[in-house]
Structure 1
Amino acid sequence: MSKPATLNSVVARVTERIAERSRDRRAAYLARLEDAGGKPRRQRLGCANLAHAFAACGANDKAALRGETQPSIGIVTAYNDMLSAHQPYERYPALIRESVRAVGGVAQVAGGVPAMCDGVTQGYEGMELSLFSRDVIALATGVALSHATFDGVLCLGICDKIVPGLMIGALSFGHLPTIFVPGGPMPTGLSNADKAKARQLYAQGKVGREELLDAESKSYHAPGTCTFYGTANTNQMLMEIMGLHLPGASFVNPNTPLREALTDAAAKRVVAMTAPGGGTPIGRIVDERALVNGIVGLLATGGSTNHTLHIPAIAAAAGIALSWEDFSELSTVVPLLARVYPNGSADVNRFQQAGGMPFIIGQLLDAGLVHADIATVWGEGGLEPYRSMPDLDAGGALTWVRSPSDKSGDPTVVATTAAPFAAEGGLRVLSGNLGRGVIKVSAVKPEHRVVEAPARVFDNQEAVQAAFRAGELDRDVIVVVRYQGPGANGMPELHKLTPPLGVLQDKGFKVALVTDGRMSGASGKVPAAIHVTPEVKYGGPLGRVRDGDMLRLDAETGALDALVDAAEWESRGAPPPPSEDSAHGCGREMFSLFRDNVSGAESGASVIRYPGA
């Protein structure tokens, strides 16, 4: 094993700042972990309680759970067969039970959590529940683990809000060893470039619904995660670089011998972790070093902007306070090492073939851009084992092969730190008299990163689409979509704006989007200042913008300003919220408690509160 590289000074400084900022909260969290570790589990439950816990088990499992030595593993699953990414999980509990029995334990499904598909709800009422579903998943995970009978946990989840929700819930039981078990991406279908072209042609009225549906069906065509590098696949990157997956597990296709071998290995590994000294519980794995590694991975791969919400929310669950400044400062030293759609033409299958996460992690380790000494579910060696790719040997046994340290399998898809795609990471923080927001620059060409143009103000994305169809936006324009924050309507993604704004940009106009809402993790080439905070509902300055105001979005300098006379600007108030009632229908009436109590975007847009926060 090579000597670890010296840690980059900026990475070290940001990590130290986070640790100092979080010192009291983290200490209180760890004290709660120690207390929880001493509370009754299965061995100390009352007889009636324990009998309920194993009443439905088979005779052998029942006998094992009556005893005090064989470990009990709880499975928290986000299985449903409407999500392509989660459909493979249908078979996992049976596989896991057999794997756990083989090493002397018992596994039970502790509970299921909801799993909605943003791809289905994009542009419709259900999307207003999407971000809130993360906290619902966290709460459901807490309910699943509240039986206090388990010695270890396997979390089955992949997609957008599901992994962050499972993480937040599991961290409330941070004294338990926990492994995240992925399902992998679907095989490659229609190319992302052809899919995007079909969407733009449909937005222009040049093809009809049947042609568009045909293209979409060829893109999303099989069990597994969607193959673009959106939030779901960014989740998988995050779990791997934070040490919560087995090495190289993220992007192996479903229903293959290698995927089943990795699932078997994860089940057996969590049993080993339950032994005294056998492994580190999740609450201690997720520390400031692991979180900084997660942010570095996000920047190096050009991942989803949604993680500027999710990573702070995950950190808060572990007693750690992150800010967007941490992301921004790290971005100045982390190079862009991946070109995966929407940041390039490749999909995640090509990314995996080119070296995938093992190659990226190896590059970051050798450059001193990540903490090598973190605890992981693998055990010994810190992050070093995560530079190896899983494979099956000639006899079908699972093995790991160290990734080449200096040569990409495809330099158009993954790059070295010596010759990166860009010197800085894929996300930046913007601030100015319009508020604070974030922008994903990894997919935006340099010539589009500075836009100065008149504003056109809207209260929803449907109105933007109508104006586009009417030809009202055929000019240089910065589209402002307000009242889209978490308190206003749950902060839905505004992904349906991507095709029309992309068409305007392709026509040669200077175009940008500014909103207190979100964009999809798959959005890309049009510059978008998103998550603008404070949100308009709570007096955010974005509510002062009027049609025709000159705005400036400068992703190079980080400026986000209205070029309006200061006195005039200060005299303005926000207009009243949209007249239509968006608080009812499609289950939205049940989430008024969330809308009225959610935190701001920079602190994770969460309704969950923690002691000392």
Structure 2
Amino acid sequence: MPVHPSIHPTVTAVTEKIINRSRDSRSAYLERIRAAASQGPARGKLGCTNLAHGFAAEAPRSKDLLRRNVKPNIAIVSAYNDMLSAHKPFEGYPRRIKEAVIDHGGIAQFAGGVPAMCDGVTQGRPGMELSLFSRDVIAMSTAIALSHDMFDGALMLGVCDKIVPGLLIGALSFGHLPTIFVPAGPMTSGLPNTEKARVRQLYAEGKVDREALLDAEAKSYHSEGTCTFYGTANSNQLLMEVMGLHLPGASFVNPGTELRDALTTAAAQRVVELTAGGPEFTPIGEVVDEKAIVNGVVALLATGGSTNHTMHLVAMAAAAGVDLRWDDFSELSEVVPLLSRIYPNGSADVNHFHAAGGMAYLIGELLDAGLLHPDVTTVAGGGLDARYRREPVLEGGQLSWRAGPRDSLDKQVLRSVADPFSTDGGLRMLQGNLGKGVIKVSAVKAEHRVVKAPAVVFDDQDDFLAAFKRGELERDFVAVIRFQGPQANGMPELHKLTPPLGVLQDRGFKVALVTDGRMSGASGKIPAAIHVTPEATTGGPIARVADGDVVELDAEAGTLTVFANDLENRVPAAPAGGTTFGTGRELFAALRGAVGTADRGASVFGATLSGAQA
């Protein structure tokens, strides 16, 4: 797989390193999916009883077509539920998709649903301990939906944090099937994110009551669609587009609009064209290759996207036989400029990003700078350069694509490579005698990026919050929150720590967070070393830190150090023995025992996917 000659030398070097490292695992993966594709549609080999079960509920016309195996059958796999705003729009998608597929010469069946949980609802609650594992449950649910061997292609309907990575991992286990991801889009803009953050801090200080806080939150999250800040959900959408799995420009069109409906119809029709037997057969396993993965990392860095993807992208890559590592993120971050500021990295939301030029402008800038591979396979046909510089429009009620803007329409939100917000991507790896971790500095001011202070150690985020309320943290310190890793309790996000830490930082104290847990897509202005591995539960160095030990988090040098000469000789602390029962947590004990490390994707599948994690 030669690299295009116009590509930036660092992008070339990282890509070639990934290709070489993945040679055996990627070859094995491709051999498997090509063998599956060469056998033809599996539906044609089903026994009569099997096939009859597969079309028993269909209308007579569809039943006849499935019986005779004369048209491609498209699986619909959806994360719809009507509690979560991002997935509510999917309610009407199956009917629209089925009509569009039939009109385009195919058949579609709703193959299965996958769970969709919201970290915003479970934040700080016991249910959050199921969140990370839901990704792998979704992957398995996707595989179950496709396992009936009735299908020639698939459409994946999902948006949020663990759902899209799970859908992709599951889809890649059926990598011989053409598959398109179908988004729902962000809700319209509500209360500005900076105002929401201000009210949260006031509530943390006790200056406003719960009613004022709830009013602000309800004005922020107010309708159908994805939350508008640039967290993991919207990072997912960006990745699916730049990796060639969305139709061009599909990511950030609002729900309930004619353009959104037209894009959904177009995706349904397009997947029919990609099925076997036609001239454009495009299995998803051929789309998601080393270059596509690198493109995803570059776009994530260029926009200050979610740190969750230092795990999700690793796991998604492994599902395609590609061995992606944290060092690859770090090397790319050094040469990829930060081109957008979307909350929490700025005051704008994803609707402002979209209006400023959005994906077409971003992809064009990165292509022109040699930071994206143009010669990749996409569901739109052709390479990234040919299709994804364009944006969708309705002309006379018909969907078409036009050239995207060549200049940013709002330079406070989106800039060129020649005039970036920062010359690097703002995502850095930290390493030292505390292990390895990740820090997102795109929202952290330069004066806060190096903190050296005594440790204050907690084994539970609630203990930290209680200490803050008692006024015990009015000083310089590094909060070490441990026993929050994948094996401990499923690695919950710790966003409830952000407002009090922000209050203390605003009061002039030097504060930082070090944790084997997550902060993820909404990581903000506080320097936070997250995903620290080895985690405390496995006896990692973070389990040996004591109150008063001087800890230095240096985001500039990329180091994470505790100054304690006897660190290695200390007995690791044991967890406090919190409950693992209730809210379904007892059902996930096997996953906690099987999960891998954060730097290898925190996956329960381990090396069984492709050998890439061996």
TM range (shorter): over 0.9
The one-letter amino acid paired with 2:573 is P
The one-letter amino acid paired with 1:369 is L
What residue number does 2:226 align with? 225
- 1:521 alignment partner, SS class: helix
What residue number does 2:400 align with? 399
1:37 to partner: Cα distance: 1.6
What residue number does 1:610 align with? 609
What residue number does 1:501 align with? 501
| In structure 1, distance between residues paired with 2:575 and 2:180 | 44
The one-letter amino acid paired with 1:147 is H
Provide, for residues 431-471 of structure 1, a one-character-per-residue CA deviation record: whole Å limited to 9, x for no partner: 00011000011111111111111110000110110011111
| In structure 1, distance between residues paired with 2:376 and 2:127 | 39
Matches within 5 A, 1:125-524: 125-274=126-275, 275-393=277-395, 395-405=396-406, 407-524=407-524
Q: Which of 591, 594, 599 is the aligned partner of 1:597? A: 594
What residue number does 2:535 align with? 535
- Could you tell me whether the CA contact under 8 Å between 1:5 and 1:365 is conserved in 2? no
| In structure 1, distance between residues paired with 2:522 and 2:359 | 19
1:143 to partner: Cα distance: 0.2
| In structure 1, distance between residues paired with 2:173 and 2:18 | 20
- Could you tell me whether the CA contact under 8 Å between 2:79 and 2:163 is conserved in 1? yes
- 2:521 alignment partner, SS class: coil
Q: Does 1:573 align with 2:571?
A: yes
- 2:388 alignment partner, SS class: helix
| In structure 2, distance between residues paired with 1:380 and 1:293 | 16
1:260 to partner: Cα distance: 0.2
| In structure 2, distance between residues paired with 1:139 and 1:240 | 23
| In structure 1, distance between residues paired with 2:444 and 2:386 | 33
| In structure 1, distance between residues paired with 2:383 and 2:19 | 23
- Could you tell me whether the CA contact under 8 Å between 1:243 and 1:383 is conserved in 2? no
1:54 to partner: Cα distance: 0.9
| In structure 2, distance between residues paired with 1:268 and 1:580 | 51
1:573 to partner: Cα distance: 2.0
- 2:532 alignment partner, SS class: strand
- CA RMSD between the two structures: 1.0
1:400 to partner: Cα distance: 1.1
- Percent identity between the two aligned chains: 64
| In structure 2, distance between residues paired with 1:62 and 1:255 | 32
- 2:327 alignment partner, SS class: helix
| In structure 1, distance between residues paired with 2:30 and 2:383 | 23
TM-score by length of 1: 0.98
- Could you tell me whether the CA contact under 8 Å between 2:474 and 2:509 is conserved in 1? yes
Provide, for residues 344-379 of structure 1, a one-character-per-residue CA deviation record: whole Å limited to 9, x for no partner: 000000000001111110000000001000000001
1:388 to partner: Cα distance: 0.9
- Could you tell me whether the CA contact under 8 Å between 1:279 and 1:379 is conserved in 2? no
Q: Does 1:10 align with 2:7?
A: no
Provide, for residues 283-318 of structure 1, a one-character-per-residue CA deviation record: whole Å limited to 9, x for no partner: 011000000000001100000000000000001100
1:120 to partner: Cα distance: 0.4
The one-letter amino acid paired with 2:357 is G
The one-letter amino acid paired with 2:536 is V
1:578 to partner: Cα distance: 1.2
1:44 to partner: Cα distance: 2.2
Unaligned runs of 5+ in 1: none
- Could you tell me whether the CA contact under 8 Å between 1:376 and 1:383 is conserved in 2? no
- 1:530 alignment partner, SS class: strand
1:49 to partner: Cα distance: 1.2
What residue number does 2:120 align with? 119
| In structure 1, distance between residues paired with 2:471 and 2:244 | 50
What residue number does 1:544 align with? 544
Alignment size in residue pairs: 605
- 1:228 alignment partner, SS class: coil
- Could you tell me whether the CA contact under 8 Å between 2:230 and 2:349 is conserved in 1? yes
1:507 to partner: Cα distance: 0.5
Deviates more, 1:66-75 or 1:348-357: 66-75
What residue number does 1:586 align with? 583
Unaligned runs of 5+ in 2: none
- Could you tell me whether the CA contact under 8 Å between 2:318 and 2:610 is conserved in 1? no
- 1:577 alignment partner, SS class: coil
1:5 to partner: Cα distance: 7.6
- 1:548 alignment partner, SS class: coil
The one-letter amino acid paired with 2:278 is P
- Could you tell me whether the CA contact under 8 Å between 1:374 and 1:383 is conserved in 2? no
Deviates more, 1:57-66 or 1:116-125: 57-66
The one-letter amino acid paired with 1:574 is P
- 2:155 alignment partner, SS class: strand
- Could you tell me whether the CA contact under 8 Å between 1:486 and 1:598 is conserved in 2? yes
| In structure 2, distance between residues paired with 1:517 and 1:497 | 12
- Could you tell me whether the CA contact under 8 Å between 2:454 and 2:476 is conserved in 1? yes
| In structure 1, distance between residues paired with 2:280 and 2:343 | 39
The one-letter amino acid paired with 2:194 is A
- Could you tell me whether the CA contact under 8 Å between 1:301 and 1:426 is conserved in 2? no
- Could you tell me whether the CA contact under 8 Å between 1:154 and 1:270 is conserved in 2? yes
What residue number does 1:77 align with? 78
Deviates more, 1:37-46 or 1:509-518: 37-46
Provide, for residues 379-425 of structure 1, a one-character-per-residue CA deviation record: whole Å limited to 9, x for no partner: 124443111111111x11111121133x1110000010000000000
| In structure 2, distance between residues paired with 1:191 and 1:279 | 44
Provide, for residues 36-91 of structure 1, a one-character-per-residue CA deviation record: whole Å limited to 9, x for no partner: 22446112211211111111111121121122221100000000011100000000
Provide, for residues 319-356 of structure 1, a one-character-per-residue CA deviation record: whole Å limited to 9, x for no partner: 11111000000001000001000000000000000011
What residue number does 2:65 align with? 64
| In structure 2, distance between residues paired with 1:67 and 1:223 | 40
| In structure 1, distance between residues paired with 2:193 and 2:216 | 10
- 1:128 alignment partner, SS class: helix
The one-letter amino acid paired with 1:207 is V
- Could you tell me whether the CA contact under 8 Å between 1:279 and 1:377 is conserved in 2? no
| In structure 1, distance between residues paired with 2:242 and 2:383 | 14
- Could you tell me whether the CA contact under 8 Å between 2:491 and 2:518 is conserved in 1? yes
- 2:344 alignment partner, SS class: coil
| In structure 1, distance between residues paired with 2:404 and 2:426 | 24
| In structure 1, distance between residues paired with 2:404 and 2:123 | 38
Pair 1:179–1:122, CA change in 2 (3 A): same
The one-letter amino acid paired with 1:444 is V
| In structure 2, distance between residues paired with 1:277 and 1:464 | 60
- 1:279 alignment partner, SS class: coil
The one-letter amino acid paired with 1:423 is T
The one-letter amino acid paired with 1:29 is Y
1:523 to partner: Cα distance: 2.0
- Could you tell me whether the CA contact under 8 Å between 2:364 and 2:385 is conserved in 1? no
1:611 to partner: Cα distance: 4.5
